[in-house]
Amino acid sequence: MYLLARDMTAISALIAVFFSFGVVAASANSRTAALYSAALVAQYVLIASAARNYGTRFVLNVLAEVSHS
């Protein structure tokens, strides 16, 4: 699960950057562009937080396995 969340974080970061530039360039309404960009950044923050939690849990599970063997 950690690897999936890590990859989703990287893809989300790229999408947030490139799609935000695209919507700013293509949108006539700046409020819509700002709302869309904020939603993409919020998505990145949530996925990055999940990846960090999965990574921490993964490391703790590995350490627990090593200490019991």
Residue 21: Cβ within 10 Å count: 12
pLDDT by position in tens, the chain (length 69): 889 999 999 999 999 999 999 998 998 788 999 999 999 999 999 999 999 999 999 999 999 988 887
State the residue for tokens 């490139």.
18
Distance CA 23, CA 21 (A): 6
Confidence (pLDDT) at 68: 85
pTM of model > 0.75? yes
Quickly list DSSP for 3-69.
HHHHHHHHHHHHHHHHHHHHHHHH-S-HHHHHHHHHHHHHHHHHHHHHHHHHHHHHHHHHHHHHHT-
State the residue for tokens 């700013």.
24
